[in-house]
Structure 1
Amino acid sequence: MTNALMEDLKWRGLLYQQTDEQGLEKVLDEEKISLYCGVDPTADSMHIGHIVPLLTLRRFQMHGHRPILLVGGATGMIGDPSGRSDERQLQTTEQIAKNVEGIKGQLERIFDFNTDNGAQMVNNNDWIGSMNIIEFLRDYGKLLGVNYMLAKDNVASRLEGGISFTEFSYMLIQGIDFNHLYNNYNCRVQIGGSDQWGNITTGLEVIRKTHEEEAKAFGITIPLVTKADGTKFGKSAGGAVWLDAAKTSPYEFYQFWINTADADVIKYMKIFTFMEREQIEALEVSVQEEPHLRKAQLTLGEEMTRLIHGQDALDQAIRISKALFSGDLKALTASEMKDAFKDVPSFEMAKENKNIVDFIVESGVSPSKRQAREDVTNGAISLNGERVTDTAYEVGATDRLDDAFIIVRRGKKNYKMVKFV
């Protein structure tokens, strides 16, 4: 009989490679285990491409297993060669420490730390950082042959362009991590993205070489998430979609998910949300029979924004979206407007009173004074959601939000942010 958790992971398309499928299912049927996923602090925030293995780890927690969250304070200082064609720029110890703190806060939103199988957070700098070079070479360097390491895809793909000994050693250091967690936390499984297969199997080799008895450890990788049209997942017009609200606002985060194509939305619901199979299948019918309602996209946006940013941020994102759709900008605060119009064209001008006609011509909203007067008279111009129809109107300090910007709309959909310097 197939294990219910593993069957669910297969249905969601979350299993790519396994070292011993039958052995792992047998262990999961017999006991509750600890398992881990690692995140290297290469930035002070994760983006959505990072979280698929973590969300998969969370699914194990929901079935009673204990997740171990490894933040790579040591490996982050080395640089993983996987999926790269060049060497990483090494970061300072101070920057790594700052990045670790940022990532810890995001992991605390995804996992439950206060149950019997509450998540444990560890930093591999605690056991790697104090190891000297002789210990490393004598205790671990002898375990793996160079030919074994050269055969790994993450190294083999870099040989032609060149790889430093620093990044070459990364897989062995990650192998030390798995071995440490196996010995000290009874950790039986490592989960990672598809590019982590070489690192995971190296960890299993280190465990095998350092234990006399047969070690029962396993590895799982998650498929790379792709879009139906072949373009890269996890990018918006502004670049990566970050979990940090200061880098990608909750409104932008929500918009990313609700703009998912029909061809991708059910796939993403399976991968990213914790919704039940029946709920997702019902929304799949909606996509097929009533795609104009976009029920699946709206649900996906709600589930993901609530998970990463919380209910209050989701409520705000929905409020901004509704205000923009209806054109009722007066319902928004200044900070909400700033988020909503972050990516619209902008123009800078000095802080001084200006006639509305001069103002919209100078800012490029209307192409000429004649057109500008016509636009104002016809009610086509709004400042921060308030229509202006008087060509003698003076734009001044009372119109500036936070004394810093004005949102100008011409017609129904042409927006511009005028910033004041």
Structure 2
Amino acid sequence: MSQSDAATMEYKSPFMREAAARGYIFQCTDGAALDEAMLNGSVSGYIGFDPTADSLHVGHVMQVMILRLLQKHGHRPVALMGGGTAKIGDPSFREEARALMNDETLSHNLLGVERCLRQMMTFGDGPSDAVLANNAEWLDALSYIRLLREVGVHFSVNRMLSFDSVRSRLEREQGLTFLEFNYSILQSYDFRELSRRYGVSLQLGGSDQWGNIVSGIDLVRRMDRKSVWGLTAPLLTTASGAKMGKTAQGAVWLSKERLPVFDYWQYWRNTEDADVGRFLRLFTDLPLEECARLESLPGSEINEAKKILATEATTLCHGRAAAEEAAEAARRTFEEGARAETLPERRVDGALLTEGLPVFRLFAEAGLTASNGEARRLIRGGGARVNDVVVKDENQIVSAADMTEGAIKLSSGRKTHVLVRAE
């Protein structure tokens, strides 16, 4: 089914109707059949999460939201952690191969990903409770000869070479290793295994996974003669064309150990006006009618919708109490000019602060800018403040003498503030 048909067709099942209305549907292998199956009973669907880091990031949130929506409408979500596939690494649309992880790093990352998933979903033994699986359970035990005989015979190399994700790598100088080329086969095997173990009949993922998903569907149908489906969500950019989840400080992580809750809240608060309605639908549980009302707020009132978006999105990841604490810290900082001790902290080498350093360098050291040059431009534009005082000289020396209660408050523009402390 084409992108336009899948996103706009009239669905009957509650899940498919709401998924389409919220913007979660990009392509579907047979939307009508999947819709009918969901009307007739519970459907189990899965999404895979490779533990490439010890936390998920904003780019994963929409996939988790889709699993939550399955659960809301009485279907069973399966979150598959790629303890096996991560040993290879998904090559889809990457410019070069991922670095291979050792077992210690992999185990550490799996625990971090699991914490993120458990924060956002309900796992248990009920009919619509989420299932947490790890493909290392079956992939680590595979015999290579058995895999070739039972599974490899169903794959066409010609077809695999036609996938956009494969062709894009083959056209580069670095090419595609045989190790990575096997990733699609293992992902397809996951679908077959999940179908047998948990009755999974639906694989979900981003649109960059379309080729792998179709391969898995084909394998299940060939080996087990079962009807299964694939559904992808669109890959998102902001209204200005920027990639979701990237800031000057790096990725927007879901783990508070990697990114303070305040910074996570602030990421959503800084949403572009044109994205507010779309992001409310995609990244919160608010009713669609409320999303539409907030989206239509005139003029500067749209900022109130951004605060609601930030609080609701942060609640899903960190809990209501932490989200409201971040919102209150922002209110005190931005609306009252107070020095909120709940602001995110940045640690800087104590020796630098003792000796003193140019303010432009401190902004870069604290991660408010990506480079010294960017810090200089921020200061020249009047957007930098130290302890709420506008910086006029980029070479102004800042030191421990500027600390109040052990910290220096740095501000980039009106929305980004941190407390710098010595480490």
State if a TM-score over 0.5 links the two structures.
Answer: yes
From 256, 260, 268, the counterpart of 2:271: 260
Q: Deviations over 1:307-363 (max 9, x none)?
A: 10112211321232122121221xx43xx24x1x6499x993329xxxxxxx9xx87
Asked if residue 154 in structure 1 is aligned to residue 165 in structure 2, the reply is: yes
Asked if residue 294 in structure 1 is aligned to residue 298 in structure 2, the reply is: no
- What is the one-letter code of the residue matched to 2:138? W
From 15, 23, 42, the counterpart of 2:33: 23
Partner secondary structure for residue 170 of structure 2: coil
Asked if residue 315 in structure 1 is aligned to residue 324 in structure 2, the reply is: yes
Partner secondary structure for residue 291 of structure 1: helix
**1:240-389 aligned within 5 A:** 240-286=251-297, 289-292=298-301, 294-325=303-334, 326-329=336-339, 332-333=340-341, 336-337=342-343, 339=344, 342=346, 348-350=352-354
Asked whether the equivalents of residues 192 and 220 of structure 1 are also in contact (C-alpha less than 8 Å), the reply is: yes
Asked whether the equivalents of residues 348 and 419 of structure 1 are also in contact (C-alpha less than 8 Å), the reply is: no
- Aligned pair count reads 373
- What is the one-letter code of the residue matched to 2:122? D
- What is the one-letter code of the residue matched to 2:318? H
Q: Deviations over 1:28-63 (max 9, x none)?
A: 110111110100011111110112122112101100
- Matched with 1:405 is 407
Q: Deviations over 1:106-164 (max 9, x none)?
A: 10111112444111100000001011211221221111121121112221221122111
Asked whether the equivalents of residues 346 and 418 of structure 2 are also in contact (C-alpha less than 8 Å), the reply is: no
Distance change >3 Å, CA 266–CA 155, structure 1 → 2: same
From 201, 210, 213, the counterpart of 2:214: 201
TM-score, normalised relative to structure 1: 0.82
- Matched with 1:391 is none
- What is the one-letter code of the residue matched to 1:178? F
Q: Deviations over 1:39-97 (max 9, x none)?
A: 00111111101121221121011000011110000001101111212111111121111
Rounded Cα–Cα distance in structure 2 between residues aligned with 1:382 and 1:184: 58
Partner secondary structure for residue 294 of structure 1: helix
- Matched with 1:84 is 94
Rounded Cα–Cα distance in structure 1 between residues aligned with 2:15 and 2:81: 25
Rounded Cα–Cα distance in structure 2 between residues aligned with 1:399 and 1:70: 47
Asked whether the equivalents of residues 347 and 420 of structure 2 are also in contact (C-alpha less than 8 Å), the reply is: no
Partner secondary structure for residue 178 of structure 1: helix
- What is the one-letter code of the residue matched to 2:205? G
Distance change >3 Å, CA 348–CA 31, structure 1 → 2: same
Rounded Cα–Cα distance in structure 1 between residues aligned with 2:292 and 2:182: 45
Asked whether the equivalents of residues 347 and 417 of structure 1 are also in contact (C-alpha less than 8 Å), the reply is: no
Asked whether the equivalents of residues 347 and 418 of structure 1 are also in contact (C-alpha less than 8 Å), the reply is: no
Distance change >3 Å, CA 158–CA 400, structure 1 → 2: same
Q: Quick check: 150-159 or 28-37, which moved more?
A: 150-159
Asked if residue 232 in structure 1 is aligned to residue 267 in structure 2, the reply is: no
Asked whether the equivalents of residues 349 and 418 of structure 1 are also in contact (C-alpha less than 8 Å), the reply is: no
Distance change >3 Å, CA 74–CA 146, structure 1 → 2: same
- What is the one-letter code of the residue matched to 1:188? S
Partner secondary structure for residue 122 of structure 2: coil
- Matched with 1:368 is none
Asked whether the equivalents of residues 70 and 123 of structure 1 are also in contact (C-alpha less than 8 Å), the reply is: yes
Distance change >3 Å, CA 235–CA 418, structure 1 → 2: closer
Rounded Cα–Cα distance in structure 2 between residues aligned with 1:69 and 1:221: 15
Asked if residue 164 in structure 1 is aligned to residue 174 in structure 2, the reply is: no
Asked whether the equivalents of residues 184 and 215 of structure 2 are also in contact (C-alpha less than 8 Å), the reply is: yes
TM-superposed CA distance for 1:204, in Å, is 0.7
Distance change >3 Å, CA 207–CA 298, structure 1 → 2: same
- What is the one-letter code of the residue matched to 1:349? L
- Matched with 1:68 is 78
Asked whether the equivalents of residues 81 and 134 of structure 2 are also in contact (C-alpha less than 8 Å), the reply is: yes
TM-superposed CA distance for 1:248, in Å, is 1.3
Partner secondary structure for residue 256 of structure 2: coil
- What is the one-letter code of the residue matched to 1:317? A
TM-score, normalised relative to structure 2: 0.81
Rounded Cα–Cα distance in structure 2 between residues aligned with 1:282 and 1:196: 34
Rounded Cα–Cα distance in structure 2 between residues aligned with 1:314 and 1:265: 18
Distance change >3 Å, CA 305–CA 415, structure 1 → 2: closer
- Matched with 1:5 is 15
Distance change >3 Å, CA 198–CA 408, structure 1 → 2: closer
From 97, 105, 109, the counterpart of 1:95: 105
- What is the one-letter code of the residue matched to 1:28? M
- What is the one-letter code of the residue matched to 1:47? H
Distance change >3 Å, CA 363–CA 148, structure 1 → 2: closer
Larger radius of gyration: 1
Distance change >3 Å, CA 230–CA 396, structure 1 → 2: closer
Partner secondary structure for residue 270 of structure 1: helix
